[in-house]
Structure 1
Amino acid sequence: MLPLVAVGVLLLITVTGAAWLASKASAIDSELNAATLLIQPLKEAITGDNPGDAAATVKQLRAHTTAANEAANDPIWKLASSLPGLGSNFSAVSEVARSADDVTSLGLEPLVKVYSTLDWQALLPSGTGTDLGPLQAASPSVSAAANAVRLSADRLNQIDIGKLVPQVADPLTRARDQLQNATGALDAAANAANIAPGMLGSQTPRNYLLMIQNNAESRSSGGIPGALAVLSLDKGTLSLGSQSSASDIGVMAPIVPLDPEQQQIYSGRVGKFMQDVNLTPDFPTAASTAQAMWERKTGQRVDGVISIDPVALGYILDATGPVTITHPELVALASVGLPTELTGKNVVQTLLSDVYAKIEQPALQDVYFAGVAQEIFAALSEGRGNATGIIAGLSRGTDEGRVLVWSGLAAEQSVIAKYTVSGSIAGPSVAPAQFGVYFNDGTGAKMDYHVKRTVQLVKECSRDGYEQTTVRVTSTNTAPADAATSLPAYVTGGGAFGVPAGSVQTNIVAYGPVQANVETAKVDGQSTDFAPFVHSNRPVGVLAIKLAPGESRTVEFTFGKIVQHTEPNVVVTPTVQAVKDVILPTEILPCGQ
């Protein structure tokens, strides 16, 4: 037997060691929490274009993460990490502390240094050109930072959470999620820094077909192309060249070739009329088709296609400030009662409603629509507005699907395809359990300005190991009861396509996740026939509804055999409504015992 004194010494060592580990755990927890509290001020400093505050905040962050990492490298802590059982918890905490310090020192510090060297105002395309050298020089640093954060995320992902106590597992899960988000953001920044200079014309001039989508007549990616123009970029110098409208392009004969799946769903109209290129929600298809049509009509092959809608133009106007109509032809058109000063508050109503009420001739409506777009881009080329506001507006528009980009160069498009700005319905930008709800006008008019919609996913109980989800779409025609006579015939369609004036007909297209099935459809709770298709291995359901003024209808598509067990999400056609008002929170139905 051990002498009593020896037992006492061992007990003292054990108690002292436990107390020491507890003090280190408290220090690590305190330092990492302090670091976490600095993330928001850092974001505010960056979005507020304040590099001085950003650098000071990162310095504080580094002090906290270094202290946490040093505490986790304590010899006794390391010894505890090697013990069976609880040792994996000490090891996991060490890895979190190490990752936090690596992210700060190898990711945030270099990024903030690069950020402080960039003049974002000077980097925006303008009429006088842009020095793209600093952006090109920043690319290696941004890529290195992205790689460092990715390596940290990979290390945390290798930890077996099942062996950890909740007090360690929960913070580790949060750290994983945060690093995953940071990795995605940094990868996007690195990719942007890599391809943006070339797309802005750093080496050779670039020409893009600019499509302004008109949400008053819905198409899957937003609305009918209301105006077309060539946007030219040469070393960051922005200019707007040839302008046209979709109707000016005429009829394509023979039609632009389309893959059989999409032609079956959306018909050959996609390749026949510029007005219909975006009946498909797959923007790379719509854009490449528009590129081919433009080349046939004009002989000019553009390098890519950029799409934007009036709502996103409003976001830009919020940053540039009001734009005064100066072109004599536009001033003359505005004299019938349209505003001569456009702002973020009035541009949507002006372009999608008032122009039709005030100007009777469709050709002149197109002229006004295109002219307003030219005035707004002229303001951009003059350097109006602040870079932070413009970038924020374009980012918001991109998040809502209102700004879309396609490059005709395969290397650039392979990068763009990773992100939502691509408008792809398949590939790396699409979440595993993603649904899509898209709207195509069947009225042949501009009535969608008056339609309000909501879209909601209803997550049902699993069946035979597969997920089941219903997509619920409610549409309301808010046009006045006397819309047939009080609204212009160009807005109502005048019954030209078999839809009574004042009513709205919409083809609703619902996409499910890859490999799932679209099983049933209902309208106002009653089962109904629908057209089932497949596009890029995703199930597609299509049906049409007609709404008289004041009428509402609810369409439900139920998808089964869903193999993905991640949380579902849904993307929708961007309409006049705010996207946040269209997409409702997912409803989860209770399962029976």
Structure 2
Amino acid sequence: MALSPIKSAAPKVQAAAHAVRESVRRLHGIDSTKLLPQISEPLAEARNDLSTLSSQLDTAADAAVLAPSMLGADEPRRYLLLMQNNAESRATGGIPGALAVLDFDQGQLSLKSQTSAGALGQFTPPLPISTEEQAIYSPRVGKFMQDVNLTPDFATTAPTAKAMWEQRTGEKVDGVVSLDPVALSYLLEATGPVEVRDPAVLQISGGLPTELSSRNVVKTLLSDAYAAIEDPDLQDVYFAGAAKEIFSALSDGKSDAKGLMEALARGVEERRILLWSSAEPEQSVLAKYRVAGLVSGPSVTPAQFGIYFNDGTGAKMDYWVKRSVRVVKDCTRDGYRAVTVRVTSTNTAPNDAGESLPDYVTGVGAYGVPPGSAQTNVIAYGPAQSTIDTVVKDGAQVPFAAHKHNQRGVGASTVRLKPGESTTLDFNFGHIVQNTELNMVVTPTTQAVKDVVLPAALASCE
């Protein structure tokens, strides 16, 4: 990627952003209450249009400033890559089973130092995390690389993963990037299919496709690989090998530039691609956007809710679990807003999953969950100052764990589903002071986001 045009364009983009920002400020300074409708209505439209343009230009200006340095224009940059596996859910997507280092030098990308999270072993004592997150997610976040993203806050996950990597390997990195196979499928739409050519990967592939495309990569990596490759370490090798071919296709410069930008934007919008920089000035800019994956700060809307999933099976059953999240009540009670968020989960695995699916997928009861069943820890976040008053499972109130994280009300409950079984959890939030539009954030799964976050279906407040 040529970085000099981006560097040279940055001052012009910043100037344009400033000019439009000032125009928005002046338009909003006009008192429209005494204007005729023929004037006030076009003014309101102009305000909205310019505000949208201003936001887009601010984003472009930030990107133009950050991109060259973060892609190695001034000196090579190295980023730890967490390849999340959605078949075993974690709050930000999936277990980071395969790891690698992304090298950027003058915009040229290469993938190096590939290994597995398991190879890093256990960290004793655990790396420190906040006391609030320890209470919700346990010290395991700082104990195993596989669990660094039990928390949905990438500002905790990334520096913890960086410290683990550097402590075990001695390799310094400048930041952390995370993505999942669904994001890889988006990238493959831009690059076109890629061939798996590494002899070591082909030797263990066990009849898996040698050509990976946007249509087959998710099923291949998150389902078929477990039937074809029994050794978990070799599964990670195959996963990393597939990622290497895709990144090689990205770095050869032959992909459609517009399609690549759209793929990256889609991955970021769905929180399948996350980025953290160890350079504080860069991170302070990233923190304004979804790509930072934060639970508090400028990128979090005032009335934001979060529903996150952490595997409790100790296996790869989440490929078979389908979920939906929707607001089913939004009322005013005792002067405060009360909101109910319903989470529906269904285990779509075959009835004989305990026998027909690979042992590594079912977990064979190693953690107390019957083979074929799927157990999930569901964590719900409300806005700042909110509380979770009750949790109702399939119509009956159930005990739950209540917490706080960065002033946000948090509730956690566990569901276990046999094949074909479905259940609902209603998280009843209270003491909500924000009156702005509700916004929902969820753990990225193998499903399309539109199939997980459903439109509100509000019940009566009476």
The TM-score bracket by the shorter chain reads over 0.9
1:138 corresponds to which of 3, 6, 9: 9
Q: Give, as a single letter, the amino acid of the residue that structure 2 aligns with 1:204.
A: E
Instruction: Assess, with a 3 A threshold, how the Cα gap between structure 1 residues 174 and 455 changes in structure 2: closer, same or farther.
Output: farther
CA contact (8 A) 1:461 1:468 kept: yes
Match of 1:519 in 2: 389
Q: How many residues align?
A: 462
CA contact (8 A) 2:329 2:460 kept: no
CA contact (8 A) 2:97 2:118 kept: no
Question: Distance between the aligned counterparts of 1:476 and 1:441, measured in 2?
Answer: 14
CA contact (8 A) 1:320 1:384 kept: yes
Question: Distance between the aligned counterparts of 1:374 and 1:309, measured in 2?
Answer: 14
Secondary structure of the residue aligned to 1:559 is: strand
Q: Give, as a single letter, the amino acid of the residue that structure 1 aligns with 2:226.
A: Y
Instruction: Assess, with a 3 A threshold, how the Cα gap between structure 1 residues 356 and 155 changes in structure 2: closer, same or farther.
Output: same
Q: How do 1:330-479 and structure 2 match up within 5 A? A: 330-334=201-205, 336-479=206-349
Question: Distance between the aligned counterparts of 1:508 and 1:455, measured in 2?
Answer: 11
Match of 1:501 in 2: 371
Question: Distance between the aligned counterparts of 1:170 and 1:256, measured in 2?
Answer: 56
Instruction: Assess, with a 3 A threshold, how the Cα gap between structure 1 residues 584 and 164 changes in structure 2: closer, same or farther.
Output: farther
Question: Distance between the aligned counterparts of 2:44 and 2:437, measured in 1?
Answer: 16
Question: Distance between the aligned counterparts of 2:458 and 2:344, measured in 1?
Answer: 18
The percent identity for this pair of structures is: 60
2:49 corresponds to which of 166, 178, 192: 178
Question: Distance between the aligned counterparts of 2:398 and 2:58, measured in 1?
Answer: 45
Higher relative contact order (CA closer than 8 Å, sequence separation 6+): 2
Question: Distance between the aligned counterparts of 2:399 and 2:431, measured in 1?
Answer: 20
Structure 1 residue 152, shift from structure 2 partner: 1.8
Residue 255, structure 1, aligned to residue 106, structure 2: no
Larger Rg: 1
CA contact (8 A) 1:206 1:233 kept: yes
Query: What 5-or-longer segments of structure 2 have no aligned partner?
Result: none
Cα distance per residue 1:131-172 (max 9 Å; x no partner): x22111111111111111111222232334544555554444
Structure 1 residue 284, shift from structure 2 partner: 1.4
Q: Give, as a single letter, the amino acid of the residue that structure 1 aligns with 2:345.
A: S
Q: Give, as a single letter, the amino acid of the residue that structure 1 aligns with 2:225.
A: V
Instruction: Assess, with a 3 A threshold, how the Cα gap between structure 1 residues 550 and 141 changes in structure 2: closer, same or farther.
Output: same
Structure 1 residue 560, shift from structure 2 partner: 1.2
CA contact (8 A) 1:226 1:370 kept: no
Question: Distance between the aligned counterparts of 1:576 and 1:383, measured in 2?
Answer: 28
Instruction: Assess, with a 3 A threshold, how the Cα gap between structure 1 residues 543 and 168 changes in structure 2: closer, same or farther.
Output: farther
Question: Distance between the aligned counterparts of 1:166 and 1:545, measured in 2?
Answer: 55
Match of 2:117 in 1: 246
Question: Distance between the aligned counterparts of 1:537 and 1:388, measured in 2?
Answer: 40
Question: Distance between the aligned counterparts of 1:436 and 1:174, measured in 2?
Answer: 32
Pairwise CA RMSD: 1.3
Match of 1:31 in 2: none
Match of 2:188 in 1: 317
Match of 1:206 in 2: 77
Structure 1 residue 463, shift from structure 2 partner: 1.7
Q: Give, as a single letter, the amino acid of the residue that structure 1 aligns with 2:371.
A: A
Question: Distance between the aligned counterparts of 1:181 and 1:242, measured in 2?
Answer: 42
Match of 2:169 in 1: 298
Larger strand fraction of residues? 2
Q: Give, as a single letter, the amino acid of the residue that structure 1 aligns with 2:78.
A: N
Structure 1 residue 350, shift from structure 2 partner: 0.2
Question: Distance between the aligned counterparts of 2:314 and 2:33, measured in 1?
Answer: 58
Structure 1 residue 504, shift from structure 2 partner: 0.4
Secondary structure of the residue aligned to 2:390 is: strand
Match of 2:431 in 1: 561
